[in-house]
């Protein structure tokens, strides 16, 4: 089978609400077949996000603490419970059509885990899945959280991988609603790797696991794609 053509962009730093809006625009455009599959890699400002199955009690900080630390909160449409995003963490948002791969959400989640597991293996770190919880683990601690939304077989949201974040921000939540397990990062294992190097590894293993032909584009090229998709959508609305 021929590999699927996919764009990949290193977006750099972004606010969560900015990137959520971009995801929604790309998701709609992908449904309308206005653009190919896209992988977005970004690094967010401090934020806690609540998935559809979140318990508000899993946020341990009060409003004053959040304001002092400059932490925003959002209730969003992905699966899962509360999680943290912030500097030193790579977040990947695949906007892909599963009809071109496999219309199986569980397989998609396992494939995302496999991308991360192979990336860690290339850094000589043994990681595993957990039969009870989605994500990637090193012994009893999670290094990558996964939460997705799939609508009309188009995906959004994705995974968050801890490279060198400040792990104390996890002290203010029950990460993913799991009380008895911890979180970790590459930094905890003495591994120093830039986000750019790590993103290149992720792209390599996305290509392997999903049989993709990945073409890297710039942030500016992504914005042009967005602008073009919005104009085409508005034109269709005017016609109708």
Active site residue 176: yes
- CB distance 16 to 157 below 8 Å: no
Q: How many CB atoms are closer than 10 A to CB 41?
A: 22
Across-strand partners of 39? 8, 94
Query: How many other β-carbons are positioned within 10 Å of the β-carbon of residue 178?
Result: 17
Distances (CA, A) of 57 to 22, 62, 127, 153, 185: 29, 11, 30, 32, 25
Tracing tokens 């009690």 back to the chain, one arrives at 57
d(CA 51, CA 230): 27
Could you say which of 9, 150, 176, 183 is catalytic?
176
Cβ atoms of residues 206 and 115 within 8 Å: yes
Which residues are the active-site residues?
176
């Amino acid at each position: 089978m021929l590999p699927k053509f996919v764009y990949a962009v290193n977006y750099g730093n972004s606010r969560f609400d900015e990137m959520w809006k971009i995801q929604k625009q790309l998701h709609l455009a992908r449904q309308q077949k206005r653009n190919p599959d896209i992988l977005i890699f970004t690094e967010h400002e401090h934020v806690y996000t609540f998935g559809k199955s979140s318990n508000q009690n899993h946020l341990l900080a009060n409003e004053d603490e959040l304001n002092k630390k400059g932490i925003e909160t959002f209730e969003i449409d992905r699966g899962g419970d509360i999680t943290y995003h912030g500097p030193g963490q790579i977040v990947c948002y695949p906007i892909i059509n599963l009809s071109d791969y496999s219309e199986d959400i569980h397989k998609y989640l396992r494939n995302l885990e496999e991308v991360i597991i192979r990336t860690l293996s290339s850094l000589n770190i043994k990681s595993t899945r957990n039969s009870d919880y989605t994500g990637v683990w090193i012994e009893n601690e999670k290094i990558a959280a996964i939460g997705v939304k799939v609508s009309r077989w188009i995906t959004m949201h994705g995974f968050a991988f801890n490279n060198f974040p400040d792990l104390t921000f996890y002290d203010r939540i029950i990460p993913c609603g799991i009380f008895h397990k911890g979180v970790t990062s590459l930094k905890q294992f003495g591994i120093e790797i830039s986000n750019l190097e790590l993103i290149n590894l992720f792209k390599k293993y996305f290509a392997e696991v999903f049989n993709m032909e990945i073409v890297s584009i710039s942030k500016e090229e992504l914005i042009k794609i967005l602008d073009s998709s919005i104009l085409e959508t508005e034109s269709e609305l005017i016609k109708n």
